[in-house]
């Protein structure tokens, strides 16, 4: 466990250190240090602390979207007025760990850690969020749906650092919901689901759905979205959508639940989220 | 790995200490500074026993590298109130909020941060606020009672003295 530790003062410095390899980035450290302490991950030559980098700080309304610095602690985001316009995201962040965890854990950290069950992922996917990455080859932005590549695997290239999460403001009349099931408090989700949609005269529009802990990556439920677009919200629609959603996912059985249970729950959560659009209980 | 110098303030005292890059804050507090009030329960962020204040915020000292605290103000249970019992400490003793005592420093540090943000929390807000701290003895009821009593006492102490009665 004999790693070195260095805290660069700027993104530029951090990038040139990261380019030398043999290192790991540490933001809040709540995923990384647990993995290192429990020896679930080999110790890197050194940790590069990015939590105080000014380029990764701050929450800014850019007009069409909200820019959230990758190293902003979750508690700061939850205390920001912007969270009121992103209720599904706020709900997901609010259940992540404890207040002590949220005081240090970052949004960039949870996305780069790429756990299939990360709570923040489904709402961000359903909101159509993007991520901003900086690396030796310059800056790029990527749709979050393209970012996750497998459990613990992302589109980050060696030496790349996530600088921000970009969340387009939901249009007027867009609703967003987040549902989650876990065994006990402070446990990773067994299943989570987020839904964004509009509902006027009982017709669905702009439907975006995402689920967590039901596939190797948090994922959009594309076939279900396509089916629901423009449909009237009826019991038949809900039943068909639930069937499609169960086919959109590829869960495994583990100590938190069986594949069957997870599939079942995706359908149940989807129906609840859509019913909530008509004043039903999510 | 070579040690590095950590400069920070612990319970109002300036500290300058050589620490290893992989030493956590709780290891430094307990093993180097002899501040053994802060406990190590799970050592993986779930139990809350190691809660301290870093720049006024409740954080887990088992998941904080000591070197992340460069220049920080750290308060542990020993520094919460250096001259007499803090109202929370008094209330935990009076209400039976502490039995074996192992989780108590963490609960008190977490409660102090909660009351600083929300001086008059409801019972539900206390329960939600303390949900990152585990206690295996009390069943939590007496802990919530203690926080409620401390909140009331601290508010009374804050309130301006009543104007002298006019005769
Ligand atoms: C007790 C406990 C309870 C938890 N409960 C939950 C929960 O309920 N729900 C949930 O979803 N999660 C939970 N978590 C997981 C964790 O808290 C979150 O995933 C957290 O947001 C991770 O952020 P961090 O800043 O601490 O990441 P770190 O641990 O600092 O980093 C995680 C990984 O991402 C990389 N990384 C970090 N930032 C960047 C960046 N900007 N660019 C590139 N790579 C980066 C790091 O190198 C590392 O590999 C819990 C963790 C603990 C310890």
**Boundary of a domain, candidates B79, B106, B140:** B79
Structural contact between residues B110 and B129, judged by C-beta atoms closer than 8 angstroms: yes
**Boundary of a domain, candidates B52, B79, B106:** B79
pLDDT at B83: 85
Alpha carbon of A18 to those of A73, A186, A212, B164: distances in Å?
22, 32, 30, 67
Secondary structure letter of residue A51 according to DSSP = T
pLDDT at A235: 94
- Six token digits for residue A160: 């790349």
User: What are the residues whose beta carbons fall under 8 Å from the beta carbon of A80, sequence distance 6 or more?
Assistant: A59
How many structural domains compose chain B? 2
**Residue at B165 is within a domain:** no
Nearest chain B Cα distance for residue A245, angstroms: 33
Secondary structure letter of residue A187 according to DSSP = S
pLDDT at B81: 87
Structural contact between residues A181 and A148, judged by C-beta atoms closer than 8 angstroms: no
A162 lines ligand 1 (CB under 6 A): yes
**Any CB–CB contact under 8 A between A113 and chain B?**
no
**Residue at B33 is within a domain:** yes
Contact between chains at B22 and A97 (C-beta distance less than 8 A): no
Query: Cβ of A260: how many Cβ atoms within 10 Å?
Result: 11
Q: Are residues B102 and B146 in the same domain?
A: yes
**Any CB–CB contact under 8 A between A217 and chain B?**
no
Q: Chain B interface residues facing chain A, Cβ-Cβ under 8 Å?
A: 1-2, 4, 20-22, 24, 43-46, 48, 51, 57-60, 63-65, 67-68, 70, 110, 113, 129, 131-133
CATH code of the domain covering residue B23: 3.10.20.30
User: Which has the higher per-residue pLDDT, A250 or A184?
Assistant: A250
Phi-psi region of B33 (alpha: psi -120 to 50; beta: other; left: phi over 0): alpha
* Average pLDDT of chain A to the nearest whole number: 95
Q: Are residues B95 and B41 in the same domain?
A: no
**Any CB–CB contact under 8 A between A5 and chain B?**
yes
- All residues of chain A having their beta carbon less than 8 Å from the beta carbon of residue B110 are 99-100
Rounded to two decimals, the ipTM of the complex is 0.92
> Measuring CA to CA, which residue among A275, A254, A276 is closest to residue A117?
A254
Q: Tell me the per-residue pLDDT of A57-67, one tens digit each, with 9 for 90 and over.
A: 999 999 999 99
Q: Are residues B129 and B106 in the same domain?
A: yes
- Domain hosting B99: range is 87-158
CA A121 – CA A127 distance, rounded (Å): 10
Average pLDDT on A7-29 reads 96
Q: Are residues B8 and B73 in the same domain?
A: yes
> Measuring CA to CA, which residue among A197, A200, A214, A206 is closest to residue A268?
A214
Q: Which residue ranges form the domains of chain A, and what is each CATH number?
A: 4-168 (3.30.465.10), 174-276 (3.30.390.50)
Q: Inform me whether the pLDDT recorded for A219 exceeds 80.
A: yes
Average pLDDT on A238-252 reads 96
Confidence of residue B26 (pLDDT cuts 50, 70, 90): very high
Q: Which of B63, B116, B118 to mutate to test the interface with A (most CBs of A within 10 A)?
A: B63
- Torsion over CA of A66, A141, A70 and B19, rounded to 10 degrees? -170
């Amino acid at each position: 466990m004999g790693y070195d530790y260095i805290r660069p003062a700027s993104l530029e410095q951090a990038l040139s250190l990261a380019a030398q390899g043999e290192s790991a980035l540490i933001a809040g450290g709540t995923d990384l240090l647990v993995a290192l302490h429990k020896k679930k991950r080999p110790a890197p030559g050194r940790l590069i602390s990015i939590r105080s980098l000014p380029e990764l700080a701050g929450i800014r309304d850019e007009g069409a979207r909200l820019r959230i610095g990758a190293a902003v602690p979750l508690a700061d985001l939850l205390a920001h007025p912007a969270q009121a316009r992103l209720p599904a995201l706020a709900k997901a962040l609010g259940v992540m760990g404890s207040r002590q965890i949220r005081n240090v854990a970052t949004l960039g950290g949870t996305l780069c850690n790429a756990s299939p069950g990360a709570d923040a992922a489904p709402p961000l996917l359903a909101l159509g969020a993007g991520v901003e990455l900086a690396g030796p080859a310059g800056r790029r932005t990527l749709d979050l749906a393209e970012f996750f590549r497998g459990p613990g695997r992302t589109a980050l290239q060696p030496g790349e650092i996530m600088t921000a999460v970009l969340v387009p403001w939901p249009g007027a009349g867009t609703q967003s919901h987040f549902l989650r099931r876990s065994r006990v408090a402070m446990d990773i989700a067994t299943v989570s689901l987020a839904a964004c949609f509009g509902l006027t005269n009982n017709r669905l529009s702009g439907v975006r759905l995402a689920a967590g802990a039901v596939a190797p990556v948090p994922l959009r439920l594309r076939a279900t979205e396509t089916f629901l677009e423009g449909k009237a919200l009826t019991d038949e629609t809900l039943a068909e959508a639930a069937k499609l959603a169960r086919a959109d996912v590829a869960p495994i059985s583990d100590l938190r639940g069986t594949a069957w249970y997870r599939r079942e729950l995706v359908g149940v959560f989807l129906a609840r989220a859509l019913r909530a659009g008509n004043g039903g209980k999510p | 790995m070579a040690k590095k110098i950590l400069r920070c303030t612990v319970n109002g005292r300036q500290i300058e200490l050589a620490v290893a890059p992989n030493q956590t804050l709780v290891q430094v507090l307990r093993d180097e500074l002899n501040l053994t009030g802060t406990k190590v329960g799970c050592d993986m962020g779930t139990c809350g026993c190691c809660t301290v204040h870093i720049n006024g915020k409740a954080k887990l000292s088992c998941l904080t590298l000591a070197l992340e605290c460069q220049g920080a103000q750290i308060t542990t249970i020993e520094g919460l109130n250096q001259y007499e019992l803090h109202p929370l400490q008094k209330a935990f003793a009076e209400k039976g909020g502490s039995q074996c005592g192992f989780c108590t420093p963490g609960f008190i540090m977490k409660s102090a941060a909660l009351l600083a943000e929300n001086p008059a929390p409801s019972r539900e807000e206390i329960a939600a606020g303390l949900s990152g701290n585990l206690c295996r003895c009390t069943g939590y009821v007496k802990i919530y009672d203690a926080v409620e009593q401390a909140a009331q006492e601290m508010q009374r102490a804050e309130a301006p003295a009543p104007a002298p009665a006019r005769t």
